[in-house]
Amino acid sequence: MMMVTENDILERLPDLLAELAGLPVKSVRQGENADLLLRLGSHPLAVEVKTNSRAGVVAQAAENARRAASKGKPAAIPLVAVPFMGEVGRKICQEHGVSYVDLSGNADINAPGLRIHVAGKPNLFVQRGRPSSVFAPKSSRLARILLAEPKRSWRQAELASAGQLGAGYVSRICRRLEEDHLIERDSEGSVRPRDPNLLLEAWQAQYDLRRHDIRQGHVAARSGEELARQVAEACQGLDFDYAMTGLAAAWLLAPFAGYRLVTVYLRKSPNDKLLQRLKWHDEKRGANLWLIRPNDEGVFHGADNVKRMVCVSPVQTYLDLRNLPERAEEAAEHLRKERLKWR
């Protein structure tokens, strides 16, 4: 699929809006403050166009659209247009009170006397191959470090040292994070998150727990808390580096509710001694313990001892919870309110 340009979107947008709304669309002019000013029936639109829906890009477009829309008399409807709007982009538009439309046929446009909502259309602009990501296992070390101290400004050399990464590699990732409006620089070139919540949401949208090496099994225990304690004691007794994540870590960091499934990172693959001490049985159906060999050592950054058990950082716990069953989604929101307050 060929790359879609901003001009492609601008050219196709009027016909698409007319089809979705069943109303005539008139191009008013190229906007001074927005990319395009349109009139949909009697409704003025201030349109910001972007060629991708990465979180930082959509957030910047939403802010620009709102500013441009407020300058008209009457005020226009702020609208972000992209080739395909992903889940995080949709959420960002909703939080900003901004409408969106994509060339794949999805839209959410809401204003007095006008309501258009189309969802579920597939992405017509999927690029072949998996593009490199600033949230790949190794490069995500930078996001993890930045979110651990979101108010701190970091020199790139400090980030390289903290993440055990090369200076050139850090420079490239920081440049891409800045292009996506996820970090900002001060006058001395140091960086920090532009909006920690946005950085976390952008990372979560691309994070997939299943990319780690996961071994699922069953260990006899009366509760998740008891099982977590058994795992911790077995690892400590065998000098096996570990860190709780998921529901077990959430319960340690911000107690929410009882749980059954325990997920734990191991710095090396589980050996026979550990499995025997746990009285482990390989079992995917009905598994209550996941032993996870991470695809990058970065998951251990910020791990801490809580109630005599080691658990990963609140950020890593949150990411993993969003990929787990049971009441993990509720636990994730509770953890975010309690331990990831950035506003």
Note the pLDDT tens digit of each residue in 6-56: 999 999 999 999 999 999 999 876 656 789 999 999 999 999 999 989 888
Domain range annotation of the chain: 6-118, 140-206, 209-339
Half-sphere exposure (CA, 13 Å, Cβ side) for 290?
Answer: 24
Write down the pLDDT at residue 237: 95
d(CA 94, CA 108): 9
d(CA 252, CA 260): 14
Place of tokens 């000098």: 239
262, 244 Cβ separation under 8 angstroms: yes
Write down the pLDDT at residue 72: 77
Of the candidates 106, 105, 6, 94, the one whose C-alpha atom is nearest the C-alpha of residue 50 is 6
d(CA 21, CA 156): 48
Q: Do domains 6-118 and 209-339 have the same CATH topology?
A: no
Write down the pLDDT at residue 326: 83
203, 219 Cβ separation under 8 angstroms: no
Q: For the domain with range 140-206, which CATH number is right: 1.10.10.350, 1.10.10.10, 3.50.50.60, 1.10.150.110?
A: 1.10.10.10
Write down the pLDDT at residue 30: 63
- In tens, the pLDDT along 191-205 reads 999 999 999 999 998
Cα R_g (the chain), whole angstroms: 23
Write down the pLDDT at residue 128: 67
200, 341 Cβ separation under 8 angstroms: no
Cis peptide, bond prior to residue 74, ω within 30 of zero = yes
Write down the pLDDT at residue 3: 77
∠58-95-69 over CA atoms, to 5°? 70
Of the candidates 69, 165, 82, the one whose C-alpha atom is nearest the C-alpha of residue 123 is 82
> Other CB atoms closer than 10 Å to residue 16's CB: what's the count?
18
313, 265 Cβ separation under 8 angstroms: no
Cβ within 8 Å of residue 40, ≥6 positions away: 17, 18, 21, 23, 25, 77, 114
CATH code of the domain occupying 209-339: 3.30.460
Write down the pLDDT at residue 342: 80
pLDDT digit string (tens) for the chain, length 343 residues = 557 899 999 999 999 999 999 999 998 766 567 899 999 999 999 999 999 898 889 999 999 999 999 987 788 999 999 999 998 899 899 989 999 999 999 999 998 899 999 999 999 988 765 556 899 999 999 999 999 999 999 999 999 999 999 999 999 999 999 988 899 999 999 999 999 999 999 999 889 999 999 999 999 999 999 999 999 999 999 999 999 999 999 999 999 888 999 999 999 999 999 999 999 999 888 899 999 999 999 999 999 999 999 999 999 999 999 999 888 999 999 999 999 988 6
Place of tokens 């247009």: 81
Q: Which two tokens stand for residue 224?
A: 């998740």
Q: Which two tokens stand for residue 195?
A: 């909006």
Class assignment of domain 6-118? alpha beta
Write down the pLDDT at residue 126: 82
Strands 309-311 and 304-306: antiparallel
Write down the pLDDT at residue 343: 63
∠292-293-294 over CA atoms, to 5°? 100
Collapsing DSSP to helix, strand or coil, 48 comes out as strand
